[in-house]
């Protein structure tokens, strides 16, 4: 009977069919049953239930059984209740996927796959640190910066930041003092000479009271790094989208500049690409990062001495004099359009392996 169209539509349409077959109007049926016309209209329009008493009356009026009308009403209401529950579940799932890229969170092991919707809902809410799905998450990053040609989804960015927050809360770092950090940070770049020295960066930052972690970027985001605070201590997060020592050091320097300047929390999308549409805060962070990595006067003298056509030997010699890896020199020259991105690629070496303990690992497919 559940496949019967009458069940899908309820008693109302069936009553209309019976009336049409007899040439009756709703007013006629009201007079036959001795019921107000409004009551008949409400039953036909499904806003009023067919009670057992009404079922008996309809049975006598149409030559059917009371059970037929009672069952038709009951089955219709059960189906309606199921449909309402299904719609509510769909709306809950829709809201979950509005809040976060649920599939990606499960794939990365950030939340557990759940068989029941209520369990999945709880996992997402716990991850985002909200009480229920009606709430809006409160991101620690007030300012977002994107490339002009891409618009990363805010939900994926938020999930990335929340993961970083969760990871750094497990870390123990020293007390952060702004003045001490600002005094010490230029010497941190003494580690920018050799790839293996990168492994010491997290411990140096921890002594300065700064959290550090690497969280690979999520699909539909193009983030290189971020700087914000957790528990009153700065957090520097990198994605290492480009596994090159020059990219790591410039991105780190850019985020460290935000910390040194006391800037508001920020997500950075390709901070190595300077354009004049940036706000003063970003331009200042870029300038500070560039100066930390390569002394401006030394850089200008190098370009003049090489007539902007440096050889490998000249690049290596200059890098040695300033205590930087050649990749940092090449990256700066490429960024400044002194040389093309295809030139001197020998200098760019990978660096991820040296930071493996600090990288949030993404599970590989079985």
3-state secondary structure 331-357: HHHHHCCCCCCCCCHHHCCCCHHHHHH
Residues 289-305 as b/e (b if ≥16 CB within 10 A, e otherwise) read bbebbbeeeebeebbee
The Cα 215–Cα 241 span in angstroms is 10
**Distances, alpha carbon 146 to alpha carbons 152, 156, 256, 310, in Å:** 7, 13, 19, 33
DSSP letters spanning 121-152: HHHHHHHHT-SSTTSPP--S--EE---TT---
Mean pLDDT of 112-125: 92
Q: What is the CATH number of the domain that holds 28?
A: 1.10.260.40
Residue 122 lies in a domain: yes
In this predicted structure, the answer to whether residue 350 has a pLDDT above a threshold of 90 is yes
- Give yes or no: residues 117 and 227 share one domain: no
Residue 89 has φ and ψ, to the nearest 5°, of -65, -40
Strand partners, 213: 237
Q: Are residues 197 and 191 in contact, defined by beta-carbon separation less than 8 angstroms?
A: yes
Average pLDDT over residues 144-155: 50
Residue 141: per-residue pLDDT: 64
H/E stretch holding 266:
strand 266-268
Question: Taking the model in full, what pTM does it have?
Answer: 0.76
**CA-to-CA distance for 91 and 98, rounded, in angstroms?**
10
Per-residue pLDDT at 257 exceeds 90 = yes
366 found inside a domain: no
- The predicted pLDDT at position 1 comes to 45
Q: Is 138 a member of any domain?
A: no
Q: How confident is the model at residue 221 (pLDDT cuts 50, 70, 90)?
A: confident
Same domain, 307 and 178: yes
d(C-alpha 237, C-alpha 164), whole Å: 7
225-230 and 266-268 strand pairing: antiparallel
- Report the share of the chain in percent with pLDDT over 90: 71
Q: Is 134 part of any domain? A: no
Q: What is the pLDDT of residue 226?
A: 93
Q: Tell me if 53 is assigned to some domain.
A: yes
Within a domain: 86:
yes
User: How confident is the model over 154-198, as pLDDT tens digits?
Assistant: 888 889 999 999 999 999 999 999 999 999 999 999 999 999 999
Q: 43-57, 268-282, 298-312 — which is least confidently predicted?
A: 268-282
- Specify whether 76 is located in the same domain as 109: no
Task: Report how far Cα 147 is from the mean position of its chain's Cα atoms.
Answer: 17
Mean pLDDT score across all residues of the chain:
89
Q: In this predicted model, what pLDDT tens digit does every residue of 293-312 receive, in sequence order? A: 999 999 999 999 999 999 99
Domain match, 104 and 162 both: no
Give yes or no: residues 112 and 74 share one domain: no
Average pLDDT value for residue range 343-357: 96
Q: Are residues 124 and 153 in the same domain?
A: no
Q: Residue 261: pLDDT above 50?
A: yes
- Res 268 pLDDT > 50: yes
4 or 151, higher pLDDT: 4
Which residues touch 344 (CB under 8 Å, ≥6 apart)?
Answer: 310, 312, 315, 326, 330, 333, 334
Helix residue ranges per DSSP H, 208-311:
245-261, 280-293, 296-306
344, 297, 301, 353: which is closest to 325 by C-alpha?
344
pLDDT of 140 higher than 80: no
The whole-number average pLDDT for the span 88-99 is 91
* Co-location of 87 and 105 in the same domain: no
Question: Residue 249: pLDDT above 80?
Answer: yes
Tokens of 163: 């993961």
Say yes or no: 108 and 61 in one domain: no
How many separate domains does the chain show? 3
* Residue 323 DSSP label: T
My answer on whether 114 and 61 are in the same domain is no
Same domain, 92 and 147: no
| Domain identity same for 157 and 108 | no
| Boundaries of domain holding 123 | 100-128
Q: Residue 272 pLDDT > 70, yes or no?
A: no
Residues 225 and 316 in one domain: yes
Task: Kindly tell me if the per-residue pLDDT of 142 is higher than 50.
Answer: no
Q: What is the C-alpha to C-alpha distance for residues 235 and 253, in angstroms, rounded to an integer?
A: 13
At residue 58, the pLDDT reads 92
The Cβ of residue 210 has, within 10 Å, a number of other Cβ atoms equal to: 25
Evaluate whether residue 133 is within a structural domain: no
Q: Is the pLDDT of residue 79 over 90?
A: no
């Amino acid at each position: 009977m559940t496949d019967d169209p009458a069940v899908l539509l309820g008693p109302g349409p069936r009553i209309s069919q019976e009336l049409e077959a007899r040439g009756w109007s709703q007013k006629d049926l009201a007079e036959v049953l001795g019921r107000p016309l409004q009551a008949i209209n409400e039953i036909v329009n499904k806003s009023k239930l067919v009670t057992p008493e009404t079922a008996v009356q309809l049975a006598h009026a149409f030559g059917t059984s009371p059970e037929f009308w009672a069952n038709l009403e009951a089955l219709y209401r059960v189906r309606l209740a199921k449909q309402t529950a299904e719609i509510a579940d769909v709306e809950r799932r829709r809201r979950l996927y509005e809040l976060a890229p649920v599939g990606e969170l499960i794939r990365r092991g950030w939340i557990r796959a759940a068989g029941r919707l209520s369990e999945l809902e709880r996992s997402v809410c716990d991850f985002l640190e909200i009480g229920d799905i009606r709430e809006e998450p409160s991101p620690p990053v007030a300012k977002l910066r994107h490339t002009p040609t891409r618009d990363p989804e805010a939900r994926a960015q938020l999930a990335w930041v929340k993961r970083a927050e969760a990871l750094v809360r497990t870390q123990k770092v020293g007390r952060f003092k702004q003045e001490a950090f600002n005094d010490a940070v230029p010497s941190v770049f003494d580690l920018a000479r050799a790839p293996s020295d990168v492994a010491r960066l997290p411990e140096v930052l921890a002594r300065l009271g700064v959290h550090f972690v690497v969280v690979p970027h999520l699909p539909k985001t193009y983030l290189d790094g971020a700087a914000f605070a957790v528990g009153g201590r700065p957090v520097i997060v990198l994605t290492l989208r480009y596994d090159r020592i020059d990219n790591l050091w410039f991105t780190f320097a850019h985020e460290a500049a935000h910390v040194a300047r006391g800037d508001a929390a920020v997500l950075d999308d390709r901070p190595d690409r300077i354009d004049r549409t940036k706000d003063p805060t970003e331009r200042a962070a870029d300038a500070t990062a560039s100066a930390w990595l390569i002394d401006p006067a030394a850089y200008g003298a190098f370009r003049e001495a090489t007539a902007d056509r440096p050889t490998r030997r000249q690049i290596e010699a200059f890098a040695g004099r300033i205590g930087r890896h050649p990749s940092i020199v090449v990256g700066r020259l490429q960024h400044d359009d002194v040389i093309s991105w295809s030139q001197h690629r020998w200098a760019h070496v990978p660096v991820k392996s040296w930071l493996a303990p600090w990288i949030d690992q993404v599970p590989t497919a079985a």
